[in-house]
Structure 1
Amino acid sequence: MIPTFNRLPALREVIDALHRQEGPRFEVIVVNDGSSDGTSAWLDAQAAVSDAGGTGLRVLHQPNRGPAVARNRGVAAARGRWVAFLGDDTVPAAGWLAAHARAQEGELAREIRSAGGCVGVIGRTDWHPRMRRTPFLDYINEHGLQFGFALIEDQDNVPFNFFYTSNLSVDREAMAAEPFDPAFPFAAWEDVEAGYRLTAHGLRLLYRPAARVAHDHPTDLARFAQRQYRSGYCAVVFFRRHEQLGPFLGMQNGQPPLAGGAVERALLWAQERLARALQGMPFRLPRLWEKTMRHYYLEGLRNGWSDGAGLDQGGT
């Protein structure tokens, strides 16, 4: 199941890779979330070919309402026992589907379901080979700013905050019962928040790195800083639904931390300038990256709080 919005070149590669997958019989559901770049016409043409050849591509169109609504619509349309999620820029490697199937149909999954639980499987998301790898990109992929694969301690029992829809499979009925929350204004935290709710209802999350995808999403420090701002903003929505997670989301005593004074702001500005100047160099600067990205996250957190994010759609 793939939600898509204005990423036609990457989406073409994703769909092509799915047509080459081997494993159990499957359908591909793409929800076009109001794209304006030719995606609609291309998908309709591909679906017509699919209908003629019986290859199982189904296309749904909707006005732009965000990935949460798009995923929920895809789950509602799905017919399999479990549904696998991809991004429109995460290209599955050969064997991706088979690796998810082995995990979903294996002995551990059967034990989990027989005990009344449900099964989720995350695979490995790496940067696309065409991207220029830098220490910064490797760091955000491995150590928790974007993903956090190096932090996983037990591949058979992974915490809810690894519920990454870039490469995930989960029991369809469970996902339909705990859908993605459309109140999140950006594509940030809405997948992890759903994972948190599912965990409370018996989700066991497994990590199977053999299920690999290549993430084709050009990223540098400036772009990622804006992503962190949006993540902080959306964390307010998450908090208003689950206040017990305040410390995890960066809250202090139920509120965002206060902004620093002029000296702290000047220091942060200098740190960011240094981080940008060095981002293409072969240096690992984790403390500098963490401080810079945390500044943007907390700025988003404070602005989301002052804007009342989440209050008009079920928050407290």
Structure 2
Amino acid sequence: MSAHLHDNPAWVTAEPVLSVLIPFLRDDPEALIRQLDQEQTALAGRVELILLDDGTGDAALTDRLRAVLDGLALPARLITLAANEGRARGRNRLTQAARGRAYLFLDSDMKPDTPHFLRTWADLVMTDDPSVVFGGFSLDQAPIDARFAVHRALSGASECVPATTRALTPEKYVYTSNLLIRRDVFEAEAFDPAFSGWGWEDVEWAMRVSRRFPVRHIDNPATHMGLDTVKDLARKFDQGAGNFARVVALHPDIVRTYPSYRAARALKRLPGLPLVRPLIRQAAQADILPVRVRAFALRLYRAAVYAQAV
């Protein structure tokens, strides 16, 4: 696939130990990379940034980001694709450009919660050289608009949890939003390009990796700034049904322990589920209902969608 590379002046001579890999599609990562660049003095040349525009097709955005990169102190490269490759293929491509001995996958809609976010990761690589570590994410800086209230409720309850909780089922709480992977581990287990659309490619990767390498959790979080409306979340759940089916087929022993799987199995036995599913979705989108009720309805809708795959 056609790809255009743009390197900033600091790129050529850099010898990083950590490569920060930031894919994006129709998002603007400028705020994130400017914040990361504020740490450059403490990093002492140990970190590089690599961005992948996965087929946005916005020439104005590309030109502006090139100018931003040229002004950064951190070494940085922008890879611009002419067409979308997808989440798994795009992240695999990012690693091919990386020069560090570890990769930090960081989503473009994340915002580090501390001024020493990258230094914490770089120090960990230098001192411990861990195989896989997830830093966690929060909602501390996320927008509080009412239209995102259901997403906040879902994430706060099931995803934004401390490292001690995540470590109990380490493969379950692995997301490419803030994930450190040692180079040799990724060379042994890359993301599965058969996944398409939204969701599960990172969790499936963690299931594979956890059979061969230790998966650690620490508290070095970043805020997920890109909250969604209920309508957008429901659309993503629809897109993720095929990916969920692939995870079930590949790792039935692990997935069977997940509440989402058990709920999907239970709903599959419900007569008339295809007729009920749109009603559940309508309840989740009903602003008149309390947020906790809508969040429950959205979880139920997700299970109803996944019921098609189990």
Letter aligned with residue 137 of structure 1: H
| Uncovered stretches (5+) of structure 2, i.e. residues with no partner | 1-20
Instruction: For 1:232-243, list aligned pairs within 5 A.
Output: 232-243=241-252
Instruction: For 1:42-61, list aligned pairs within 5 A.
Output: 42-50=64-72, 54-61=73-80
Residue 32 (structure 1) aligned with residue 46 (structure 2): no
Corresponding residue to 1:137 among 137, 148, 151? 151
Residue 216 (structure 1) aligned with residue 225 (structure 2): yes
Residue of structure 2 in register with 1:20 after alignment: 38
| Uncovered stretches (5+) of structure 1, i.e. residues with no partner | 303-316
Residue of structure 2 in register with 1:84 after alignment: 104
Deviations for 1:285-308, whole angstroms, at most 9, x for unmatched residues?
654342233223334x37xxxxxx
Looking at structure 2, the residues matched to 212 and 76 of structure 1 have their Cα atoms a distance apart, in angstroms, of 26
Corresponding residue to 2:302 among 285, 293, 302? 293
TM-score (norm 2): 0.77
Alignment RMSD (CA, Å): 3.1
Letter aligned with residue 136 of structure 1: V
Deviations for 1:155-212, whole angstroms, at most 9, x for unmatched residues?
656511211111111212212221111111113111111111211111322131xx23
Asked if structure 2 preserves the Cα contact closer than 8 Å seen for 1:232 and 1:297, the reply is yes
How much does 1:237 deviate?
2.1
Looking at structure 1, the residues matched to 282 and 69 of structure 2 have their Cα atoms a distance apart, in angstroms, of 48
Asked if structure 2 preserves the Cα contact closer than 8 Å seen for 1:136 and 1:279, the reply is no
Residue of structure 2 in register with 1:308 after alignment: none
How much does 1:278 deviate?
3.8
SS of 2:135's partner is strand
Looking at structure 1, the residues matched to 251 and 166 of structure 2 have their Cα atoms a distance apart, in angstroms, of 26
Aligned length, in residue pairs = 280
% identical equivalent positions = 21
Residue of structure 2 in register with 1:197 after alignment: 208
SS of 1:162's partner is coil
Residue of structure 1 in register with 2:217 after alignment: 206
How much does 1:137 deviate?
2.5
SS of 2:57's partner is coil
TM-score (norm 1): 0.75
Looking at structure 2, the residues matched to 279 and 37 of structure 1 have their Cα atoms a distance apart, in angstroms, of 38
In structure 2, the CA distance between the partners of 1:283 and 1:183, relative to structure 1 (3 Å rule), is closer
Residue 122 (structure 1) aligned with residue 135 (structure 2): yes
Residue of structure 2 in register with 1:261 after alignment: 271
SS of 1:79's partner is coil
Residue of structure 2 in register with 1:306 after alignment: none
Looking at structure 2, the residues matched to 160 and 154 of structure 1 have their Cα atoms a distance apart, in angstroms, of 12
In structure 2, the CA distance between the partners of 1:220 and 1:296, relative to structure 1 (3 Å rule), is farther
Residue of structure 1 in register with 2:121 after alignment: 100
